[in-house]
Amino acid sequence: MTNLVLQHISKLYGSHLVLQFDHWEINKGIYWLKGGNGTGKTTLFRVITGQTPFNGTVKLNNIDLRQDPMAFRSQISYAEAEPQYPLFITGKELLDFYGDTRKGTAAEAMELARLFELEAFLLQPIGSYSSGMLKKLSLVCAFIGDVDFYILDEPLITIDVASAHKLYELIKTKAAQGKSFLLSSHQQIDPEKLSIDGVFEIRDKQIVAC
Ligand SMILES: Nc1ncnc2c1ncn2[C@@H]1O[C@H](COP(=O)(O)OP(=O)(O)OP(=O)(O)O)[C@@H](O)[C@H]1O
C-alpha cells in the first residue's frame, strides 16, 4: 500500500530555486504530473529518487530516503524522459544488469522485451537503436523486478500508438496488483485508456492538485 510523503522540500540549482513546499503526499494510485517546460517535473522526480541534493524529507512507505537509501531505492523504479546508456553495450546486457540489480528474472525481462517488440534487437549495441526503441528499452528496464512505486517521466514520447497501448495495459496490470505510478506527460492521457486517480501541476515551485 503506497504512501509517499515529501516534507519541507526546497531544491536549488545554485541560487535558482526550483521547488519549495511544505508537504505533499500521495497514496496508492496512478497520478499524472502536468506542467509546462521548466516547471520542475524532472527535478521533482530526481528529488524523490535521491538523484539530486535537496533540503527536506522524502519517505516511501515510512522508509526515509536519507536514512535508509538502499531499502528506499529497492521500492522505487524511475524511467527517465531521455534515457542515456553506454552506446556500446547491447540491449540484452542492459536488461541483464537491471535483472541483477532489481532481482528480476531473465524470463520476466524477455517477456517484457517481447511485449515491446524489442526481442530481435537485443543483441545489437544500443547505439544502433532508434529513439523509440531506446525509449521502449528504458520502459522495459523500469518494469523489471518487483517495486512498489513507478515514476515514468514522459513515457509516451517517441513510442508508437501500439506501444503506448501496451504501456497502458502494463500500468493497469501493475496497478491492479497494488502498485502506484507517477507519470509526467505533455500529451493528454485519455481517461478511457488509463484511469487517473489524481492530477497535479507544479505551479510557482509548489505541487498543486488540478
Ligand atoms: N542540472 C541543472 N542545473 C541547473 N539548472 C537546472 C538543472 N536541471 C534543471 N534546471 C533548471 O530547473 C528548472 C526545472 O527544470 P526541470 O528539468 O525539472 O523542468 P521540467 O518541468 O521537467 O521541464 P520539461 O517539461 O521541459 O522537461 C529549469 O529552470 C531548468 O533550467
If you take atom 8 of ligand 1, which residue's CA is the nearest one?
Answer: 43
The string of pLDDT tens digits covering residues 180-200 is 999 998 888 888 889 999 999
Query: Would the pLDDT of 105 be above 90?
Result: no
Is residue 19 lining ligand 1, measured as CB closer than 6 Å? Answer: no
Query: Would the pLDDT of 102 be above 90?
Result: no
Mean pLDDT of 88-109: 91
Predicted structure pTM score:
0.95
CA of 181 to the centre of ligand 1 (A): 21
Helical spans, DSSP H, in the chain = 41-48, 69-73, 91-102, 106-115, 131-143, 161-176
Percentage of the chain lying above the pLDDT 90 cut:
88
The string of pLDDT tens digits covering residues 28-37 is 999 999 988 9
Strand arrangement, sheet containing 30-34: 76-79, 149-153, 180-184, 30-34, 198-203, 206-209
Query: CB within 8 A of 32, min separation 6: which ones?
Result: 183, 184, 185, 189, 196, 198, 199, 200
Is residue 18 lining ligand 1, measured as CB closer than 6 Å? Answer: yes
Q: What is the mean pLDDT of the chain?
A: 94
Fill in the amino acid letter for 78. Y
Query: Would the pLDDT of 119 be above 90?
Result: yes
Determine the pLDDT at residue 104. Answer: 84
Is residue 13 lining ligand 1, measured as CB closer than 6 Å? Answer: yes
Facing residues of 153 across strands?
184
Facing residues of 201 across strands?
34, 208
